Amino acid sequence: MDPKSVLNFANDEGVKFVDLRFTDLPGSWQHISFPISQLTEDSFTEGFGFDASSIRGWANISESDMLLVPDPSRFWIDPFFEEPTLCLFADVVEPLTHEGYTYDPRSVAERAEAYLRSTGLADVAYFGPEAEFFVFDHVSFLNEPHHAFFRFESGEGNWTSDNPDENLGFRIRTKEGYVPVPPFDSLQDLRSEIALNLEAVGISPECHHHEVASGGQCEIDFRFASMLTTADNLMLFKYIVRNTALQYGKSVTFMPKPLYGDNGSGMHCHQSLWKDGQPLFGGDQYADLSEMALYYIGGLLKHAPAVIAFAAPTTNSYKRLVPGYEAPVNLAYSARNRSAAIRIPVFSKNPKTKRLEFRPPDPSCNPYLAMSAMLMAGLDGILNKIHPGEPLEKDIYDMDEAEKLHIPRLPASLEEALAALEADHEFLLAGGVFTRELITRHIEYKRKREVEALRLRPHPIEFQLYFDV
């Protein structure tokens, strides 16, 4: 699509506003709206000026002037706004150099795709995420110096089985929520409407179902695409899911572990490389993979502790990444074995289906940074021929402790992951994809705003454990 096509579409649809969407450093979507008369062909090169000083993780007030440059390749009508509003993804651009802003996550993903092409190894990286989420009927939380709590409610939650009002007895037991039919699964219609709304904005849903946890855990899969397009799709996906749920009077969270004692929400990322329309991960090695695919796996496993500082980037992420809840805490790869950090799907021998599934990420991540980091780790593996070693065919959770000692593990906390990123980030700097400034800003932001925020606060469980000491 070109700017003229966008303007023609806006005219045909009777659009009144244009809404530019961009992403802050932690990964939240932001937007600014303009009357449609402000959008011209020149806007797609000159951009719209805005103040970036109040965006999380971005500019200082002394250097806050930035440009939002809309991308004409993707546009849609917002399905929730009352007035017809055209939406576009926008890159954040430095006004003096007209180059992508250092801290703009989408610009990082664009540089990662350009670097991939510059290597000559491949011309496209396909990504397919499986983002899980919880749907709640009520949510409240508070953090004060003398008072802290959280509480959520779900009509499906097994903890509501004694509810005296409107209780017909169908509740999903802990860890038994995977694909039951109604009346246990009460969210079929909501998921179906989400899928229809996704189609309306150009995302192709492939299936939807209830997930393992009690309390309204769901998954809606959508079709894979190039890395940048997939990261764009994930931002739009979360927006559609949340706002469709709001129309049902419900609230959606993508936080990895809201519910103690049950499965958390992951975002397994399928990925493969292609060149000239041909798949590069099919071959005659383990699980019908190519040597290139094994090297990609080797790079991803080597750098995984640093990668998850972007791919599992919250303190809550590491409450999901614990043994016993289908969480891949061990750095190994295997065909079919879902206890490994990297799984090789074996549904088909067709080379076009050959891919790997990296299982540690979760949907709290900034997809532009997380997917770019995964790609850079994989490319480093290929370029340096990092072999992943032997696959793990045994279920890790059935091993004794002596056997487990020989399997490397992911960091056990965000603090450990940030330390791993601090020690291992040279592979991210290749081709100018990431910058030291962005990596440092990410580490500092996470340590100060999240790690320290949690570390310094008394926790309710501490009162249960220690009040009477």
Q: Which residues are catalytic?
A: 51, 130, 132, 211, 219, 268, 338, 357, 359
The full length of the chain comes to: 469
Smallest CA-to-CA distance from 359 within 399, 402, 396 is with: 396
Q: Do 240 and 201 form a contact (C-beta atoms < 8 A)?
A: yes
Contact between 378 and 148 under an 8 Å Cβ cutoff? The reply is no
Contact 360, 348 (CB under 8 A): no
**Cα separation, 412 vs 445, whole angstroms:** 19
Tell me which residue of 246, 222, 260, 247 sits closest to 363, measured CA to CA. 222
CA 220 to each of CA 3, 119, 204, 263: distance values in angstroms, whole numbers, following the listed order = 32, 34, 10, 17
Rounded Cα distance, 330 and 223, in Å: 28
Q: How far apart are CA 65 and CA 423, in angstroms?
A: 33
Q: DSSP for 48-108, please give it.
A: EEEE-TTSTT---GGG-EEEEEEEEEEEEE-SS-SS-EEEEEEEEE-TTT-SBPTT-HHHH
DSSP readout, 350-376? Answer: -GGG--EEE-S--TTS-HHHHHHHHHH
CB 454: neighbour CB atoms within 10 A?
14
Peptide bond into 183 cis (omega under 30): yes
